Amino acid sequence: MSKMKALVCRECGKEYPTKAIHVCEMCFGPLEVKYNYEEIKKNVSRKKIEDGPHSMWRYLDLLPVEGTNFVGPHAGFTPLVRANNLGAYLGLDELYIKNDTVNHPTLSFKDRVVAVALTRARELGFETVACASTGNLANSVSAHAAAANLHCYVFIPGDLEAAKVLGNLIYKPHVVEVEGNYDDVNRLCSEIAGEHGWAFVNINIRPYYAEGSKTLAFETVEQLGWKTPDQVVIPMASGSLLTKIWKGLHEMKALGLIDEVRTKINGAQAEGCSPISTAFKAGRDFFKPVKPKTIAKSLAIGNPADGYYALKATAESHGSMDMVTDEEVVDGIKLLAQTEGIFAETAGGVTIGVLKKLVKQGVIKKDEVTVAYITGNGLKTQEAVIDSVGRPVRIQPSLVDFQKTFKMGKNGGGDA
Amino acid sequence: MIKVRIPTPLRPLTKGQGEVETTAGSVVEMIETLNSSHPGIKDRLCDETGELRRFVNIYVNEEDIRFLKGKETSLKDGDEVSIVPAIAGG
């Protein structure tokens, strides 16, 4: 019996076959995968997972694909780094960084969702894959499509960071730069997806694609020794990642892999694009779309598809949300780099900035086990920090010049 | 005339057409006129209270009507309207 039962509308509950569709025909609500948990429960165990591959596919029983002919076989299972220095700086006893800056192959958490999406797209018989992206997703779709011999179109806003544009072109997909912001790109792609029989990973394949984010929850729990953290801080663009981490934790409980979920879910946005955090702080369960204006371009979604569900998950978990200025984003990137040796992209700066705020507000307490999700690599968003990291010290190739520059004596000593 | 782009889930109501033409002075009026030529459309776009459903997005000349005047947004000859269900992405 298949582990997937159906696609089901999150609003009205109507069921559909597990094909490339994402919208309920009746009420226009989004569809998600409905699993056969009784069947999965018979198959899954801690031991089986621990004996599995060193990738996110060790959680195959909880992912919406049918076979094992994976696209992206090496994605996931990234380090959970004990962040003692940053913890001490912030006043936290037990802080961890879930480090997806080193995800394979394109250095962001998107390699997880794309591995699931393209594996499923191939199972459904597609030969052309596409996406609407703020950058990281396009990079990942481009790379995986190249490796899987799929035709590929990626649609990006016109103002992306240079490395995120290059990070598509090198794999030679069709890169379409749309004059507009992400929300314009996304709307256009929704219309294109209705006209062409392509697998748009985050449109008609979205019910499968989004499930890949659950692996960030599974890995965190396994890496903590099959325990849930007390607090997590998650960056929000569409809100999907946060929603799926919450879902992943509850699936583990439902399947008996853990006894309880006692995690508070906290969402992080940049002030220049914070429709979800703004709604949360105002106590609303709905958000107003915004026109994004922030250096955190990977999070610059003004009309977040899962905003409503992210608000719900955060409220259910008794968590919180906040937002930070672009200046605090840059400070967050530098703080993480200089305390833990991890160079995050702007979304990571948002996460660290909000983590800092939540500790200061007393929302996250000293003795709580806390995990911050760092979802992308700083080498892709160099523009954000290039003017605030100083320059190298330049010297002649001479010992004297070196010692003079660093005010050292001739026989060593001095370490200025 | 106003051009309205119809998303796939609504095309069974427009005999498969991806684009229809109509005349209306506002978005709310457009929904009524669409509903008289293609009965059933209103129920799909609006809930029992007549408000647009949470996951329905309407754009006038590429602009989200929530940045304009919502369903009271006015329409004029030559405008193009897109209806996009359950915005995805992210």
Task: Look at B64 and A240 and tell me if their CB atoms are within 8 Å.
Answer: no
Provide the token pair at A333. 């990137």
Please state the rounded mean pLDDT for residues A393-408: 95
Label residue A411 by pLDDT band (50, 70, 90).
low
Confidence of residue A194 (pLDDT cuts 50, 70, 90): confident
Tokens of A366: 């000293």
For residue A316, the number of C-alpha atoms closer than 13 Å in the C-beta half-sphere is 13
CA dist., res. A63 & res. A86, Å (int) = 33
Which chain A residues are closer than 8 Å to B44 by Cβ? 26-28
Please indicate if any CB of chain B lies within 8 Å of the CB of A24.
yes
Q: How far is B9 from chain A (nearest CA, A)?
A: 5
Residue pLDDT, tens place only, A146-164: 999 999 999 999 999 999 9
Residue type, position A70, single letter: F
- Whether the CB of B69 is below 8 Å from some CB of chain A: the reply is no
Characterize the bridge pairing of strands B80-85 and B2-5.
Answer: parallel
Check pLDDT > 80 for residue A5.
yes
Ordered by start, the domain boundaries in chain A are 1-43, 80-106+213-388
3-state class (DSSP) for residue A120: helix
Nearest-angstrom CA–CA distance, A70 and A118: 8
> With contact defined as beta carbons under 8 Å apart, do A182 and A157 qualify?
yes
**Distance from the Cα of residue A158 to its chain's centroid:** 22
CA A313 to chain centre: 16
CB contacts of B86 in chain A (<8 Å) are: 22-24, 28-30, 305
Minimal CA separation from B83 to chain A, in Å: 9
Cα diameter, chain A: 81
Does residue A264 carry a pLDDT above 50?
Answer: yes
CB pairs under 8 A between A and B: 91
Cβ–Cβ under 8 Å, residues A350 and A297: no
- Measure the CA dihedral A389/A394/A399/A404, to 10°: -80
pLDDT digits (tens, 9 = 90+) for A88-124: 999 999 999 999 999 999 999 999 999 999 999 999 9
DSSP letter, residue A385: T
Closest CB to B82: pick one of A187, A291, A301.
A187
- Chain B residue nearest residue A285, CA to CA: B54
**Contact status, residue A22 vs residue B88, Cβ threshold 8 Å:** yes
CA distance A205 to A63: 14
Contact assignment for A206 to B44 by CB distance below 8 Å: no
pLDDT of residue B89 exceeding 90, the answer is no
Polymer length of chain A = 416
Residues of A in contact with B5 (CB under 8 A): 191
Per the structure block, which two tokens stand in for A88? 């001490």
Alpha helices in chain B (DSSP H): 27-37, 41-45
Element (H, E) at A114: helix A110-123
Residues A74, A96 contacting (CB under 8 angstroms): no
Residue A305 contacts B, CB cutoff 8 Å = yes
Measured between CB atoms, does B50 come within 8 Å of chain A?
A: no
At residue A413, the pLDDT reads: 55
User: Do the domain assignments include residue B17?
Assistant: yes
- The CATH number linked to B13 is 3.10.20.30
SS3 for A292-333, per residue? Answer: CCCCCHHHCCCCCCCHHHHHHHHHHCCCCEEEECHHHHHHHH
The angle subtended at Cα A85 by Cα A80 and Cα A86, nearest 5°, is: 75
- At what angle are helices A110-123 and A136-147 packed, to 10 degrees? 40
Q: Which amino acid is at B3?
A: K
Q: Which chain A residues are Cβ-neighbours of B8 within 8 angstroms? A: 23, 194
Report the domain count for chain B. Answer: 1
Span between the terminal Cα atoms of chain A, in Å: 68
Per-residue pLDDT, A416? 46
How do residues A60-92 score in pLDDT, each as one tens digit?
A: 999 999 999 999 999 999 999 999 999 999 999
Name the average pLDDT for chain B.
Answer: 93
Q: Which SS3 state, helix, strand or coil, does residue A20 take?
A: coil
Is B35 a domain residue? yes
Q: Are A346 and A384 in contact (CB under 8 A)?
A: yes
pLDDT at A204 over 80: yes
Which tokens is B89 given?
């992405």
Record the pTM.
0.94
Vertex A165 angle, CA A217 and A71, to 5°: 45
Residue B76 lies in domain: 2-85
**Omega before A105 cis (within 30°)?**
yes
Architecture category of domain A80-106+213-388 in CATH: 3-Layer(aba) Sandwich (3.40)
Name beta bridge partners: A267: A234, A321
Average pLDDT, rounded, for chain A: 96
Residues above pLDDT 70, as percent of chain A:
98
pLDDT at A230 over 80: yes
Query: Hey, is the C-beta of B14 within 8 angstroms of any chain A C-beta?
Result: no
For residue A412, what pLDDT is reported?
56
Contact between residue A340 and residue A381 where contact means Cβ atoms under 8 Å apart: no
ipTM tops the 0.85 cut: no
Q: State which residue of chain A sits closest to B64, comparing Cα positions.
A: A289
Q: Are strands A264-270 and B19-22 parallel, antiparallel or unpaired?
A: unpaired
Higher pLDDT, A330 or B67: A330
Residue B90 located in a structural domain: no
Tell which phi-psi region holds residue A107, choosing left (phi > 0), alpha (psi between -120 and 50) or beta.
left
CA separation for the pair B9, A14 (Å, rounded): 14
Tokens of A77: 């299972």
| pLDDT tops 60 at residue A129 | yes
